[in-house]
């Protein structure tokens, strides 16, 4: 595990963007696993800048997002499809048909989960998976539990997660109760994982994830078993792992 701590937001974003753009430069047909949430916004902004400067092209890239809310129309302002369009896909030359996000409105959600896994199996493995972490240690929307699932599945969001994500909605009650998430088996099969975390409110969970026992009660702790894990932290998030 390589833990890198940055003393500015700018360096944190540049480091995240550089890892992704250099992979794409060296492997123009790479498969990227992408995350949403507050943390990667600045990383995507930097990637868009690199693209606009002509440093990188995403034309041959395939992407799979970690998760999507169940029940939000895909054009809803807070759907993860909308997020990805606004922060990355609309600004780079990724081919729309090569961007994949679980369909949270599929008529048969179980079938949607199976076909998402089949697609990843067919075009994967994922070369690089970008992750954030929830305050409870979730990765994707794999919430703490006695047992975790390997493949894509439907989850009940933890109340803590709904509360944290309420900041993006007009009313807390509008935060969906369920999501479709990639499972931890698929996440751990990625050839490289980049875990990006910012903020003092994440310092304790970063410590539990990186130094604490490996347990399904902190899904991010499973990342300790991954042979190619890079952790990007700002100083606040990293203050318990120095």
Residue 192 to residue 190: CA distance in whole angstroms: 5
For 80, other C-beta atoms within 10 Å of its C-beta total 24
Cα separation of the two ends of the chain = 14
Least Å distance, CB 67 to ligand F6R, is: 5
The one catalytic residue in 13, 50, 112, 138 is: 138
User: Does residue 118 carry a catalytic annotation?
Assistant: no
Tell me if 232 contacts ligand F6R by CB under 6 A.
no
Tell me if 186 contacts ligand F6R by CB under 6 A.
no
Q: Which stretch binds ligand F6R (CB under 6 A): 110-118, 132-140, 143-151, 211-219?
A: 132-140
Residues 6 or more apart whose CB falls under 8 angstroms from that of 180 comprise 67, 68, 70, 102, 103, 104, 109, 112, 113, 116, 141, 152, 153, 154, 155
Tell me if 132 contacts ligand F6R by CB under 6 A.
yes
Residue among 18, 26, 12, 32 nearest 192 (CA): 32
Residue among 225, 236, 75 nearest 139 (CA): 225
Site map for ligand F6R, 62-91, x if CB under 6 A?
Answer: ----xx------------------------
User: Does residue 67 carry a catalytic annotation?
Assistant: yes
Count of residues interacting with ligand F6R (CB under 6 A) = 14
Task: Give the nearer residue to ligand F6R in terms of CB position, either 21 or 165.
Answer: 165
State the residues that interact with ligand F6R by CB under 6 A.
35-39, 66-67, 132-134, 138-141
Q: Which residues are catalytic?
A: 67, 136, 138, 143
């Amino acid at each position: 595990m390589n833990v890198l701590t940055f003393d500015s937001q700018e360096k944190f974003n540049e480091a995240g963007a550089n890892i992704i753009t250099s992979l794409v430069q060296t492997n123009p047909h790479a498969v990227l696993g992408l995350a949403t949430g507050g943390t990667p916004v600045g990383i995507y902004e930097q990637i868009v800048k690199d693209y606009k400067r002509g440093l990188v092209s995403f034309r041959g890239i395939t992407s799979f997002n970690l998760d999507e809310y169940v029940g939000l129309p895909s054009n809803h302002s807070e759907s993860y499809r909308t997020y990805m369009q606004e922060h990355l896909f609309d600004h780079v030359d990724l081919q729309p048909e090569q961007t994949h996000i679980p369909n949270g409105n599929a008529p048969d959600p179980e079938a949607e989960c199976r076909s998402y896994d089949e697609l990843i199996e067919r075009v994967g493995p994922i070369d690089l998976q970008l992750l954030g972490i929830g305050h409870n240690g979730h990765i994707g929307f794999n919430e703490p539990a006695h047992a975790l699932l390997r493949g894509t599945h439907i989850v009940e969001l933890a109340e803590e997660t709904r509360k944290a994500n309420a900041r993006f909605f007009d009313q807390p009650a509008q935060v969906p109760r369920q999501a479709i998430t990639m499972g931890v088996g698929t996440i751990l099969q990625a050839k490289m994982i980049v875990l990006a975390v910012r903020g003092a409110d994440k310092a304790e969970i970063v410590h539990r994830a990186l130094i604490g026992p490996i347990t399904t009660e902190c899904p991010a702790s499973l990342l300790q078993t991954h042979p190619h894990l890079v952790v990007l932290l700002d100083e606040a998030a990293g203050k318990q792992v120095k």
